[in-house]
Structure 1
């Protein structure tokens, strides 16, 4: 038995040989020696971050972009073939650049005088105290050191918290979860921190929902050229770059359709760009994002017709879907099994399906194909650079 060639990356990020041997932090083209050591090949790169591979924020920082793109395509193709679907045309992955992640959740703990802020180790409760980060936008990373100082004052010994950070039009929206700030001294410390670091908003969540402590101006994000109010905790695509790639793919998929249904519309990531040239019905199950979208579309004069609707419990019927020339579908990780059942029988001719989970996408694609739809193409998108998380945009047609 001799050294074996690593031929691909498995779904959890391990390098794997043709006969199934796995090795962590191995790239395609590496050689797995008999003793388990790895001899680097042409696609193995030096990780730029000192915290890799301990930090759970990244799993694939040791591979070049070519191999990372191959991993993403393999993951999608594998999910499709498990459902008996022959993969369509697959575009190269659109990969967001380093240091562009505009939202993240960092864990915080205090033990004595030591405060740690960062991501957890892989499959562990231990926090990697962040000294550098090559995925976070600089505006987010700039708050890490100041947060340590703030939490040294506010967190009790052995206390923990979570910092939800989102980059908005007017700065960072920071929500501190799992902690309390009941006294005047703590409240003043929070206000001084927010003002001193130019936060767009600072909220505290003691377990009963976020309570805003600082918001000098209404917090917004710009979608399709329209400023949309951002409620605390609302979903936003991980990078502006990835969002633009997904929007471009959706526009390409539905063409010049004059009437569009945007299902699981959220704040209007796709609704508002599409409404610049078409009439768009937008369905969303979360109340706050739907109200934000409604108000922003009205103010901008966009032809948007929003509805607060739970598409899992009350999906659009086939007769409702038949009113639209094209459909946009962007469900959460669970997919859209209930909505796909009626979509499969509708007469709509164009469908753009955006997914953050290749497995549930493939399951839904099988139901659509059985209903007469054709899967034309898929474009992988890597907003979560160096992670095993893969997203995609696709087009179905009849």
Structure 2
């Protein structure tokens, strides 16, 4: 009888004979007729929409095997670049803690995530990933959105801000008094922090009784519509803790790809923060100024104009949190710098490993990697790592 020994990058179980078996967990056995006999790590998927819904790929794994999957993803990416490092136990976010998500609404009235490997939508009736405050809006939105008579698919961006749910609908611009009244009534009834629309010309806020903020490092930061946030509070806390450990007591730190200031506002001492998104860096600048934090901000495209080695050498530590593509250009400059430590935060083990190779070839040492699983039951892996000279 064939046994599943691990889970591949896309979520398939890999048997000891090399076969890939969909929705199989380590320890499952495969009978001669191809049926899967659940083993000790096979979880009963809690959601009726699994596996059709593309929001989750790994609901059939228990937390132990999901953790092992995350560690193997990181180790395999490093090994592909000829690297290795101590990999810590992943920090996993619990179910129903996702505080930001993008759902889709189609003219047929379906609202939900796209099906796995398809553009078809799953009309969600339940979700074990979304925070309850976000999921509570699904049914009300299914009643509201048809009134705008959309002719194409809409994107519905949900985020949990300090004041409540921040809602942005892209792909349509409501017009007329009836729509204005419906928007106001909906926002009041469901106590929205903000309700905005974007038809392609930029977000237009239709409801925002109080300025919307997100608290980062105990500082309220203005939250632009659909701005990037770490997916869960638990995931954010794990990444911040790892970055603080990696940076140590450095008196002056550079935070590159700083976003709204998730790390810049959590660090002691003076911080230089660079970010290419104008609205994000403006929000960070305003928040740091009001809180009298020692954060100097710069709007800077780090892909086209990375910090030079001479600029990097001024800092006691560097924090790096690039998008999925990684930071190839910035890593090349970092490789030659003499800053004592780097905290690298990544949402893509492959691009991280590529940049890690560049750094290690420049004389850096990869001290440790802290994986974070904040996209519950997903193949998506995040991490924070420390490099030192």
Please give the TM-score of this superposition, normalised by the length of structure 1.
Answer: 0.96
Q: What pairs up with 1:137-156 in 2 under 5 angstroms?
A: 137-156=131-150
Question: How many Å separate the matches in 2 of 1:316 and 1:162?
Answer: 35
Aligned match of 2:96: 99
Residue 228 in structure 1 maps to residue 225 in structure 2:
no
Q: What pairs up with 1:38-57 in 2 under 5 angstroms?
A: 38-57=36-55
Q: Secondary structure at the match of 2:4?
A: strand
Q: What pairs up with 1:178-197 in 2 under 5 angstroms?
A: 178-197=171-190
Aligned match of 1:73: 71
Q: Secondary structure at the match of 2:106?
A: strand
Say if 1:160 and 1:179, in contact at 8 Å, map to a contact too: no
Q: CA deviation at 1:124?
A: 1.0
Aligned match of 1:334: 325
Aligned match of 1:83: 81
Aligned match of 1:317: 308
Q: CA deviation at 1:148?
A: 0.6
Aligned match of 2:387: 396
Question: How many Å separate the matches in 1 of 2:216 and 2:167?
Answer: 20
Q: CA deviation at 1:137?
A: 0.4
Selected match of 2:361 from 367, 370, 377 = 370
Q: CA deviation at 1:233?
A: 1.9
Question: How many Å separate the matches in 2 of 1:323 and 1:108?
Answer: 49
Aligned match of 2:264: 271
Question: How many Å separate the matches in 2 of 1:285 and 1:249?
Answer: 24
Q: CA deviation at 1:191?
A: 1.4
Question: How many Å separate the matches in 2 of 1:125 and 1:346?
Answer: 45
Question: How many Å separate the matches in 2 of 1:233 and 1:97?
Answer: 23
Aligned match of 2:2: 4
Q: CA deviation at 1:36?
A: 1.9
Q: Secondary structure at the match of 1:68?
A: helix
Q: CA deviation at 1:222?
A: 0.1
Aligned match of 2:250: 257
Please give the TM-score of this superposition, normalised by the length of structure 2.
Answer: 0.99
Question: How many Å separate the matches in 2 of 1:196 and 1:43?
Answer: 43
Aligned match of 1:126: 120
Question: How many Å separate the matches in 1 of 2:20 and 2:121?
Answer: 26
Q: CA deviation at 1:319?
A: 0.6
Question: How many Å separate the matches in 1 of 2:272 and 2:155?
Answer: 36
Selected match of 2:164 from 171, 178, 185 = 171
Q: CA deviation at 1:155?
A: 2.6
Q: CA deviation at 1:188?
A: 1.4
Question: How many Å separate the matches in 2 of 1:194 and 1:20?
Answer: 53
Q: Secondary structure at the match of 2:126?
A: coil
Q: Secondary structure at the match of 2:238?
A: helix
Deviations 1:275-313 (A, max 9, x none): xx2110000011111111011101111110111111000
Say if 1:110 and 1:151, in contact at 8 Å, map to a contact too: no
Q: Give runs of ≥4 in structure 1 deviating > 4 Å.
A: none
Aligned match of 1:62: 60
Q: Secondary structure at the match of 2:133?
A: helix
Question: How many Å separate the matches in 1 of 2:198 and 2:299?
Answer: 25
Question: How many Å separate the matches in 2 of 1:163 and 1:155?
Answer: 15
Q: Secondary structure at the match of 1:333?
A: coil
Q: CA deviation at 1:160?
A: 2.3
Deviations 1:213-266 (A, max 9, x none): 111110000000000000112111100110000000000011111110000000
Q: CA deviation at 1:152?
A: 2.6
Q: CA deviation at 1:162?
A: 1.3
Q: CA deviation at 1:18?
A: 2.5
Say if 1:164 and 1:175, in contact at 8 Å, map to a contact too: yes
Question: How many Å separate the matches in 1 of 2:200 and 2:117?
Answer: 25
Q: CA deviation at 1:153?
A: 1.6
Question: How many Å separate the matches in 2 of 1:299 and 1:205?
Answer: 29
Q: Secondary structure at the match of 2:145?
A: helix
Say if 1:43 and 1:67, in contact at 8 Å, map to a contact too: yes
Aligned match of 1:212: 205
Question: How many Å separate the matches in 2 of 1:73 and 1:27?
Answer: 15
- Runs (5+) with no aligned partner, structure 1: none
Aligned match of 1:350: 341
Number of corresponding residues: 389
